Every structure is written in structure tokens, then in C-alpha cells.
Homo-oligomer: A and B are copies of this chain.
């Protein structure tokens, strides 16, 4: 079968010195939470829908009761310092490597046609553990960028790999001679983790020079935290029960 990628663009925006921020659904849904939050807060305007026959063959039912086939979307907005921001996210990642490459490359191609020269991709850094203060881990395509990340309190990654589209968006940027950075929020991978998303947003806020209202995400992060605590409590009780049982 041939995967078809269809791009629907009503009107291509004209942008000033844009930076592109990408995040496709991943473990803990960190990436999508971050981009959805940015779209909402920055009142970003959608200019592109990207359809692919390698996305899960599925119609999502929206809250108003109407259904729509799964897709990816691109948005744009201005930040206060006059630099445009392009945002890229979607309903799901595709099911095979070839389509992951094709979609990541298509999004970068659109970005590049808008004069994007720097790509920030966000995601999850999965530890299997609940962290008290989730850190932000990062990597990039050149050493200049790594220094910049460190200066913002990001911990550099020196081994391992970044999988699927959030990784490919970084790697394929390099092949297109664009600078790219990957920012990942520490998460257990077990829950939808607003705390990890919050940590990533704080770094983005600094990097992009945009104020970010964390109130909403703080509430979600609090919910995440309570969920973690109650899971830990259950585990604690379980351990006590075990002790009781042994004793």
C-alpha cells in the first residue's frame, strides 16, 4: 500500500523570522499537552490540516457530537517580541516508520517554506519513576544549541534515543540544514503527566520570550500530582499489607 499524505492549506501565512514548535502524542501525552496549551494561550490560528492514510483508520467524535478523520495540524501566532511561532501537533502518530518519516518531513518542508530555521520539539523523558520535581532533558543537532540549553537549566542527554516523530523532527531538521532542539519533560510514562508538560512549558517560555499563564496547567499538574500521590499511597498500603502479612 502507498501512504498518501494530503495537505489542506486554505491560505499560506506570511511570517517573520518564525520558529517552529512541534509535539506529537507520546507517552504521558506530554508533547500534545504542551502544544495544545500553546495553541490555546497564544490564540494560534490554524492554517494547515495534514491527512495521512497511515494514521490510525479512525474517526474521532468531537464533543459537539460530530466526527472527523484523524489528522495533524499546523498553527501560527505572533509573540510579543515580533517573532512568529509555528505550532505543529496531531491526533496520533502513524503506525509505521515510513509514514512517520513522511509526515515529519512534510511538516518540516512546510516550515522551511515559511522560512523556519529553528525547530523545537517537545516530548517525554520516560523514567518509570514518579519524580518530585520533573526535570527537563534535552539534546540538539549542534553543540552551540547544547550550550544554550544548559544555560536554561536543561540537563543534557548523552546516550539513548528519541523515538518516532518527536525524534525524527529533530533528525530530519539536521538533514534540511535547520537547527533543532529536543526538550523532554521527565515522566513516569504511566499517567497523563501535566507536571512534565508544565516543566517543558517553563523552558519554552524562556526560550521563546513569551509569557505563559500556568494557571490551567497548574491545576492539571495538581491533578496529576494527586493521582501520583494516591498511587504511591496505594503502593505504600500494599507494602504495609505485605509486611503485615509476613509478620
Contact = CB atoms under 8 A, between A and B. Distances in A.
Contact of A170 (B67, B100, B142): B67
Nearest to A95: B97
A158 B53 contact: no
Interface stretch (A14-22, A35-43, A55-63): A55-63
Number of chain A interface residues as a range: 35 or more
Interface in A120-148: 139-143, 146
B182 A67 contact: yes
B2 A61 contact: no
A205 interface: no
Given A2-B1, A3-B2, A68-B174, A59 B98 contact: no
SS class, residues of chain A in contact with chain B: mixed
A171 to B, nearest CB: 3
A50 interface: no
Interface of A: 1-4, 51, 53-61, 63-70, 95-102, 139-143, 146, 156-165, 167-168, 170-172, 174-175, 182
Count this chain's copies in the assembly. Answer: 4
Given A3-B2, A59-B162, A159-B61, A167 B98 contact: no
A163 B58 contact: yes
A123 to B, nearest CB: 11
For A1, A2, A174, which residue has the most chain B Cβ atoms within 10 angstroms? A1
A139 B240 CA distance: 49
